[in-house]
Amino acid sequence: MNERLLKVIGFYINLISYFSSKYAAKLAIKLFSIPQKGRLNEEEVQYLSTAIQEDIIHENISIKTYYWKGKKDTILLAHGWESNAYRWKPLIEILKSLGYTIITLDAPAHGDSGGKLFNAILYSECISVIAKKFKANAIIGHSVGGTATIFSQYKTPLESIKKLVSLGAPSDFVDIFKRYEVMMGYNKKVSQAIKQFLLRKYNHLPEYYSAANFSKEIKAKILVIHDKKDRIIPYTDGLKFKKNYETVQFIGTKGFGHGLKNDIVYNHIVDFLNA
């Protein structure tokens, strides 16, 4: 959606908040949870057909998984918002050449998975279920996939997971919602109602959901890579992970943007996995 249309929608949700802040918050969260992109095109379907595919059901949602068998450790790849498993193609080819077993998935409402709504908490549950089923040894997540990966290992630690890689990931819900609210132009009534909506649904305010803070409690080794020129998730989010220097290895890059699709980044990942 273009910026002008978003502001118009935000205006009407603000207007609704004066009659029912709960309903306004419900609309705001629903809008926030519906991806506009991320389904597979023909080229992506063709490449992913080289994998063994399996549908795994979680919360009545069919989650598509893709499996390439290797002789070494099993690596699970989790893409970000409005993306799908195909975004990992360059890294998949590198890991395949090194003999790793690879699992990747399409998040709810993305790729070839079912569902219409998406959020990091639901995604973290899907990641945990799939990591457990395939006995993953490491998980690599991009953007909100990185955040959800940290959430999953914090809430449901899996002994098989020894290493986590987070690429350009949001550090916490507070800043995510703050950026969303600014983008939409929501008033204070809507902002407060969103917080109460999350409290009722998940028993926690947004402040609780901090991947940076959760990382302190995770036993697995963690690599965080964030680019200084990231225009989607600010570099300051990456620096919040860096504060946890005892558990997190942080690498700041420059010029690779939010996607971080670059051989230098892939080399850092491979070095971390091989260490």
Q: Give the pLDDT confidence of 22-78 residue by residue, as tens digits.
A: 999 999 999 999 999 999 999 999 999 999 999 999 999 999 999 999 999 999 999
Q: In the chain, what are the domain boundaries?
A: 1-32+173-208, 50-170+209-274
The pTM is what? 0.95
Lowest mean pLDDT segment, chosen from 183-187, 228-232, 241-245, 263-267: 241-245
Lowest mean pLDDT among 4-18, 162-176, 232-246: 232-246
pLDDT tens digits, 259-275: 999 999 999 999 999 99
Determine the average pLDDT of the residues in 219-248: 92
Domain 50-170+209-274 sits in CATH at 3.40.50.1820
- 3-state per-residue secondary structure call for the chain: CCHHHHHHHHHHHHHHHCCCHHHHHHHHHHHHCCCCCCCCCHHHHHHHCCCEEEEEEECCEEEEEEEECCCCCEEEEECCCCCCHHHHHHHHHHHHHCCCEEEEECCCCCCCCCCCCCCHHHHHHHHHHHHHHCCCCEEEEECHHHHHHHHHHHHCCCCCCCEEEEECCCCEHHHHHHHHHHHHCCCHHHHHHHHHHHHHHHCCCHHHCEHHHHHHHCCCEEEEEEECCCCCCCHHHHHHHHCCCCCEEEEEECCCCCCCCCHHHHHHHHHHHHC
